[in-house]
Amino acid sequence: MKLKSIIFIAGAAMFASCSGNQKPVDLTNSSAKANNKYQFGTVAEKALSSSARLPGQLNPFNEVNLFPKVNGFVKNIYVDRGSVVKKGQLLVTLEAPEMESQLQAANSRYMQAQENAQASREKYERLKQAAAEPGSVSPLDLDNAIAKMKADAAMAKSEQSNVASVKTMQGYLNIYAPFDGMIIQRNVSPGALVAPGKSTDQPMLILQDINKLRLEVFIPEDYVDKVDLKKPVSFTFNAMPAQVHTGKISRSANALSSMRSEAIEIDVLNKNGELKPGMYAEVKIPMLSGAKSLLVPNSAVVRSTEREYVVRSNSGKADIVEIKEGLASKDSTEVFGNLKPGDKIVLKASDDIKQGDDIN
């Protein structure tokens, strides 16, 4: 009995101690506390920056893959990778023994046709002289002689054209440089069999014009109408960040690519050869003055694999507004969508907020 009394007293003491320290749980304001976690910002309208920084890439002003026009074997190669060449310079010679026999056969046929044409002309001249004596030559014989002379002359011209065609084909055995530039790739050696190819085939040589380069920049769709094509452009190359270059926009594509952007090009002179095709640059593109954009805090943009959006407060209810992003700075992002200046939007929003949720 004493043991039971002791256990009962100890249990009562523990219960009294626990009930004295425990505070009641407040469940009445849980939703209000949850909603208080949302912070809000506003959509601002500001003048677009006077310039936009976009990446660019240097491309050769001219580039060509050199293929043979006829089948043949490589006889001599006079250039290699890195060779600087001039327009019209002989680069490669091919040999095709069958072409020599074709030329000889064409010359033989041409000589034979010439002899036939000469004989027909002489026969016609004799008949014509004989026809001066009335009744010595019938008109039919004279007409046949004229027709034969013309036919043989036409055949001679045809064979002459055939000889010229074979000589032209022989000329294709010599590969010349179409413009000044540098050989950047060589894929054949003497003795190799080569044939006319497609753009997907490997060329014999690749020639690039690097005296002048094209700096290619892709302008996003939302900015194509805001670029000032008349103002100078400044740019720096990643490999030479200390050097600032300037130039003018030389041409634009006036069409959007599959990436929804328009290509523009700036011509860059490369007199000392320090610039290389393929180099990347940061280009400062001038914008038209007076152009304005809608800006939202960076934390307000919600990004998912399917879309980008902000959460607008519409009378205390969540309104999901899909957007497209433009230029971004340290604290704000330019957006395009169904928004207007002064709209109240949720900061640090997440995809947990659904359309129509109470966000007061």
pLDDT in tens, 36-52: 578 888 998 877 666 77
Residue 360 has pLDDT above 80, yes or no: no
- Picking from 111, 110, 91, the residue whose alpha carbon sits closest to that of residue 165 is 110
Query: CA angle, 154 as apex, 149 and 158 as ends, to 5°?
Result: 150
Report, at the CATH architecture level, how domain 291-347 is classified: Beta Barrel (2.40)
Q: At what angle do helices 139-171 and 97-130 cross, to 10 degrees?
A: 160
- What span, in angstroms and rounded, lies between the C-alpha atoms of 13 and 20? 11
Q: Where are the domains of the chain?
A: 53-62+210-286, 64-176, 291-347
Domains 53-62+210-286 and 291-347 share a fold: no
Query: CA angle, 236 as apex, 55 and 223 as ends, to 5°?
Result: 35
- Percentage of the chain lying above the pLDDT 90 cut: 33
Residue 229 has pLDDT above 90, yes or no: no
- Picking from 338, 331, 346, the residue whose alpha carbon sits closest to that of residue 295 is 331
Between 3.40.50.300, 2.40.30.170, 2.40.30.10, 3.90.1150.10, what CATH number should domain 53-62+210-286 receive?
2.40.30.170
Residue 23 has pLDDT above 60, yes or no: no
Q: What letter would DSSP give residue 115?
A: H
Q: Mean pLDDT in the chain?
A: 83
**179 vs 336, more confident:** 179
What amino acid occupies position 34?
A
pLDDT in tens, 70-83: 889 999 999 999 99
Tokens of 157: 């011209």
In the predicted model, what is the mean pLDDT of residues 91-120? Answer: 89
**212 vs 258, more confident:** 212
Ramachandran quadrant class, 134 (left: phi over 0; alpha: psi -120 to 50; beta: rest):
beta
Q: What letter would DSSP give residue 247?
A: E
**290 vs 274, more confident:** 274
pLDDT at residue number 10: 47
Looking at the whole model, is its pTM more than 0.75? no
- Picking from 111, 40, 80, 73, the residue whose alpha carbon sits closest to that of residue 316 is 40
Ramachandran quadrant class, 263 (left: phi over 0; alpha: psi -120 to 50; beta: rest):
beta
Q: What letter would DSSP give residue 50?
A: S
- Classified as helix, coil or strand, 261 is strand
User: Cα-flanking dihedrals φ and ψ of residue 230, to 5°?
Assistant: -95, -20
Measure the N-to-C terminal CA separation of the chain; round to a whole number of Å.
63
Judged by average pLDDT, the poorest of 32-36, 49-53, 257-261 is 32-36
Residue 177 has pLDDT above 90, yes or no: yes
Residue 18 has pLDDT above 90, yes or no: no
Do 349 and 359 touch, CB atoms closer than 8 A? no
Provide CB contacts within 8 A for 52, sequence distance 6+.
223, 284, 285, 287, 327
Residue 3 has pLDDT above 60, yes or no: no
With 0-12 / 13-18 / 19 or more C-beta atoms within 10 angstroms meaning exposed / middle / buried, residue 38 is middle
Tokens of 79: 């250039």
pLDDT in tens, 56-66: 999 999 999 99
pLDDT in tens, 153-171: 999 899 999 888 888 888 8
- Give the ranges where 24-96 is alpha helix by DSSP (H): 30-35
